[in-house]
Structure 1
Amino acid sequence: MSVDVTGVDRDTLIRPIQSRSKFFLVALLAALAGIGVWLYFYVQQLQHGLVVTNLADWGSGGGVPWGLYIGAFIWWVGIAHGGIILSAAVRLLDMDTYQPVARMAELLTIAALTVAGLYILIHVGRPDRLVTSVLPAWPTRVQWSPLVWDVTVITAYFVLTATYLLLTIRYDIHRLRDRLPDTFEPLYKALLVGYSEKEDEVVERMVWWLAFAIIIMAPLLLHGGVIPWLFALLPSMAGWAGGVQGPSFLSIALTSAVSGIIIVAAAFRYAYGWQELIPKQVFYGLSKWLGFFGLLFLWLQLQQVITGIFAAPTALQYATEVKLSTPVYWLAIGLVGLGLLYVFAAALKASLFSIPRIVAVSFAVLAGTLIEKTLFVVEGLQHPQFMLYDGVPGNYIPSPVELSSILGALGIVVLFFLTVSKVIPVVELHAIEDNHEEVRD
């Protein structure tokens, strides 16, 4: 089944480029405010070092070396991988219903990868360490350094996604050029270098194969492989080791990505009157996917809990019991669980479904997955199977400096979408062309 957008013309696609809504200005001010708050605290970190955070080395500090920064890094990488997986699935499996939001998912991937890379920069302390330490060490340390692996994965996926996006943008810019602003003429010329309509068929095949590669790589190598392997292959950290981490990470990535796409699509729909371009049935379908992935997330959480408390090694059992006694863990599970209940209730009784409600659910799910990922990182470090300094209790609560990074990251993502929406269409031209062709047929 495809979305009926037969009443939508090309001018609708470029409405964000040609107009400036009140919503745009409010979102711009909110994004700049969030970035400003983060920069204020980040300057303090640059001046005084990571001591302004609640991160600490094992030992006299009695804390953990990784916290919200790494939890947020994993969370953003998951959103990125989940976003491009969904976009690739739309193209690979001809899921025309979701074609109006496919490019938004690709843009969300680019934005999330950028922010994920920023978290690495923040966490190493001084930015120059990426140049003096990470890059020189890459050739000899990539096979065992988690940090170098992270940089490698983000870079590879960024290049893959940017290529994927560029190939589809050229088609749209060429056919909408007379409606696009002359201000960005140099950029459009650069994007269309060497373009010919003869390449469209070749590009379609290239994009299909890129989508196929993404579908294969993401669950097997990227967020279903490399990132969870960095944790799952460390048996000295109770709660990290185990084969369930790959599926668990992937389920959280897809759950978070669907939530993010729902929020982005609803924002554009509301701001630019895209009720016909992104109809309600798109959100209804996305809500079912959110429910499915959310169910997988909760089921895999149950798997970890059961194996952690039933006849488990002492260290793992202790770490699991501590997690279960932590209220913030149940807050994360509760946020996802309540969202899941709403999705199932709306599936049984369609009158319960509304776009504002599913957007609220999506925000709750995103908060829950971020909390869970941060707690996962912290608990593994607070309760390892070794103690460098006996008698020193581990303790960690995110500091205002770390919490401000969430505002900054969200501000950067919002600013990215606001900027891109003024330059290129955030919905593919194919989204209306394909449906018009079906009607003519």
Structure 2
Amino acid sequence: MGTKTPTEADILRPIKNTSTTYLALVAIAGLAFVLFLIGWSYQLAEGMIVTGLSDWGSGGGVTWGVYIGAFIWWVGIAHGGIILSAAVRLLGMDRYMPVARLAEMLTIAGLSAAGFYIVVHLGRPDRMVTSVVGHYHITVHASPLVWDVTVITAYFVLTATYLGLTLRYDVTRLRDQLPDRFEPIYKGLTIGYTEREDAIVQRMVWWLALAIIIMAPLLLHGGVIPWLFAVLPTYPTWYGGVQGPQFLTIALTSAISGVILLSFAFRRGYDWDHIITDDVFRGLLLWLGFFCLLFLWLQLQQNVTGLFKPPVDVGHAAEGRLGHPVYLTAMSLVFLVLSYIFAQAIRPALFTKKRAAVAALMVLTATLLEKILFVVEGFFHPTFDIYGATPGTYFPSWIEIASITGTVGMVSLFFLTVAKVVPVVELHAIEHLQGDDHE
């Protein structure tokens, strides 16, 4: 444990203290988001042609690129985040209680960024109403895209309920120490609250966590999201049963990496060494290493089956993927992180929090690159190439690149804002740590 006992004042520090660094981060994140909004406004005015997308076939481009690749990336981060939080409750992983709420909030933020990408990629936002909502009773039976929108919405509602229920306990007990300017928010969060509901809420949260754990591999990043691609036999890069497990491992590696970065930032910014301890970082790194190993193993399965006397179309697609510099870069980054985690497990002196944060950043970069390439390469190597044997070309436009930094800024603004309103560490986690210290 840390050298001092955690207190309520510690978890309220982000709400009460506003530093110059905080304001600078708000300005940087806001600028990144605004620049993307400017680019999106230009796209709305001129059409999707400004991105170079929607130009597949004789034009030699692709219909999906960074937008869909980054969409998958954010959904993966979101799904993995709530899985981590749910596992803490279901499996009694008390070691990670201080970062459980950060993981829940990462899910809300990640799903918001992913949903934003859907609207951006539609070209015209009104199509969300005319094409999806207006014809939902028809499309839900046959469209993996609509399945996708459905499960993301369901997951958002589940996670928001899950987070809201746990916040009621904290806000009620800390209300006298919270700022009065957010009184309407606190009243909304605690409407109808009585202490008698605590035990009931704990059971409800447990069942919600169980539902989340079950849904993840069956419907979310182990099911519906990969089905967008895996059920299309004319695209050998996408087609196949391995996509579900592979998407799930990528989601978990990305989410753990995101939680590591958030934990590092909050620990450094608010002197939470005694709350988010080195032991938490070591544990998260070990889990990251485990899922990185699964990630590389499933990539190996794809490469072996795609290169050892495969059908012509599968072999062509596999050779294109394996020879691409982006793919090699992504795999190298994951392998380097796995090597570091293995080395620091054998020699603990190699561990530092900064190295853990760098490893997390490397994994997030790798998974983003892999997902974008996965989407693009699928279009370049179809089974029936009616437009000629030469693959087209694709390079992200400045608007698409700005969308990545913009959504990162959007998620950063979410955390910077929420941290000023409610505790990002559960009061239960502090009470648990205090109990450990007294023992």
Say which of 64, 67, 70 aligns to 1:66: 64
Answer whether contact 1:309 1:320 (CA < 8 A) is retained. Answer: yes
Alignment of 1:122-201 (within 5 A): 122-201=120-199
Say which of 263, 273, 290 aligns to 1:275: 273
Please provide the CA RMSD for this pair: 1.3
**How many angstroms does 1:437 deviate by?**
3.2
Q: Distance in 2 between matches of 1:434 and 1:416?
A: 27
**How many angstroms does 1:396 deviate by?**
1.0
Q: Which residue of 1 aligns with 2:256?
A: 258
Answer whether contact 1:237 1:380 (CA < 8 A) is retained. Answer: yes
Q: Distance in 2 between matches of 1:4 and 1:174?
A: 27
Q: Which residue of 2 aligns with 1:236?
A: 234
Q: Which residue of 2 aligns with 1:17?
A: 15
**How many angstroms does 1:384 deviate by?**
0.7
**How many angstroms does 1:33 deviate by?**
1.4
**How many angstroms does 1:387 deviate by?**
2.2
TM-score, with structure 1 as normaliser = 0.97
Count of aligned pairs between the two proteins = 439
Answer whether contact 1:78 1:252 (CA < 8 A) is retained. Answer: yes
Q: Which residue of 2 aligns with 1:360?
A: 358
Answer whether contact 1:49 1:125 (CA < 8 A) is retained. Answer: yes
Q: Which residue of 1 aligns with 2:412?
A: 414
Shift of the 438–276 alpha-carbon distance from structure 1 to 2, 3 Å rule, reads closer
**How many angstroms does 1:5 deviate by?**
8.2
Q: Which residue of 2 aligns with 1:109?
A: 107
- 2:396 is aligned with 1:398: yes
Say which of 45, 48, 64 aligns to 1:47: 45
Alignment of 1:205-220 (within 5 A): 205-220=203-218
Q: Distance in 1 between matches of 2:181 and 2:417?
A: 14
Cα deviations by residue, 1:8-30 (Å, 9 ceiling, x for unpaired): 11011110000012321121111
Q: Distance in 2 between matches of 1:199 and 1:87?
A: 21
Q: Distance in 1 between matches of 2:290 and 2:100?
A: 19
Amino acid at match of 2:256: V
Say which of 285, 298, 301 aligns to 2:299: 301
Q: Distance in 2 between matches of 1:59 and 1:16?
A: 52
Amino acid at match of 1:141: T
Q: Distance in 2 between matches of 1:301 and 1:73?
A: 21
Say which of 31, 37, 60 aligns to 2:29: 31
Amino acid at match of 1:350: P
Alignment of 1:371-386 (within 5 A): 371-386=369-384
Give ranges in structure 2 of 5+ residues lacking alignment: none
Question: Counterpart of 2:135 in 1: which secondary structure?
Answer: helix
Amino acid at match of 1:52: V
**How many angstroms does 1:226 deviate by?**
0.8
Q: Which residue of 1 aligns with 2:97?
A: 99
Question: Counterpart of 2:149 in 1: which secondary structure?
Answer: helix
Say which of 304, 319, 322 aligns to 2:320: 322
Cα deviations by residue, 1:23-55 (Å, 9 ceiling, x for unpaired): 211211110111122122112111111111121
Answer whether contact 2:145 2:228 (CA < 8 A) is retained. Answer: no
Amino acid at match of 1:305: N
Amino acid at match of 1:381: F
Q: Distance in 1 between matches of 2:188 and 2:432?
A: 27
Question: After TM superposition, which residue ranges in structure 1, 4 or more long, deviate above 6 angstroms?
Answer: none
Q: Distance in 2 between matches of 1:161 and 1:176?
A: 23
Amino acid at match of 2:412: V
Q: Distance in 1 between matches of 2:359 and 2:135?
A: 43
Q: Distance in 2 between matches of 1:43 and 1:204?
A: 45
**How many angstroms does 1:315 deviate by?**
0.3
**How many angstroms does 1:391 deviate by?**
5.3
Q: Distance in 2 between matches of 1:85 and 1:6?
A: 30
Deviates more, 1:13-22 or 1:431-440: 431-440
**How many angstroms does 1:4 deviate by?**
5.7
Amino acid at match of 1:195: Y
**How many angstroms does 1:440 deviate by?**
4.7
**How many angstroms does 1:313 deviate by?**
1.0
Answer whether contact 1:248 1:297 (CA < 8 A) is retained. Answer: yes
Question: Counterpart of 1:14 in 2: which secondary structure?
Answer: helix
Deviates more, 1:165-174 or 1:6-15: 6-15
Amino acid at match of 1:47: A
Amino acid at match of 1:183: R
Cα deviations by residue, 1:166-214 (Å, 9 ceiling, x for unpaired): 0100000000001000001111111111100000001101111111111
Shift of the 435–5 alpha-carbon distance from structure 1 to 2, 3 Å rule, reads farther
Q: Distance in 1 between matches of 2:250 and 2:65?
A: 18
Amino acid at match of 1:412: M
- 2:116 is aligned with 1:121: no
Shift of the 226–55 alpha-carbon distance from structure 1 to 2, 3 Å rule, reads same
**How many angstroms does 1:325 deviate by?**
1.3
Amino acid at match of 2:338: L
Give ranges in structure 1 of 5+ residues lacking alignment: none
Answer whether contact 1:6 1:435 (CA < 8 A) is retained. Answer: no
Shift of the 321–393 alpha-carbon distance from structure 1 to 2, 3 Å rule, reads closer
Q: Distance in 1 between matches of 2:328 and 2:321?
A: 9
Q: Distance in 2 between matches of 1:33 and 1:206?
A: 40
